[in-house]
Amino acid sequence: MIKIGDKVFNTRVFLAPLAGCSDLPFRLICREQGLQMAFFEMLS
């Protein structure tokens, strides 16, 4: 379990910001698989 401010996540796995492979469809698929926290695509 991870707590960030007043948010509590029941997982120890987060999706890190990745250039070129963290667009919305990818994040939605990850969400369907149980992902609780994801970041927007990294800009470079």
pLDDT, one tens digit per residue, over 1-44 is 788 899 888 876 777 777 777 788 888 888 888 887 777 776 66
Share of the chain above pLDDT 70, in %: 89
Residue 43's pLDDT is: 67
- C-beta of residue 38 within 8 angstroms of C-beta of residue 14: yes
pLDDT at 44 (0 to 100): 66
Report pLDDT for 16: 76
Say what the pTM is.
0.56
Residues 6+ apart with CB under 8 A from 39: 14, 15, 16, 17, 22
The pair phi, psi for residue 9, each rounded to 5°, is: -115, 130
CA 13 to each of CA 9, 28, 34, 35, 36: distance values in angstroms, whole numbers, following the listed order = 9, 16, 10, 8, 8
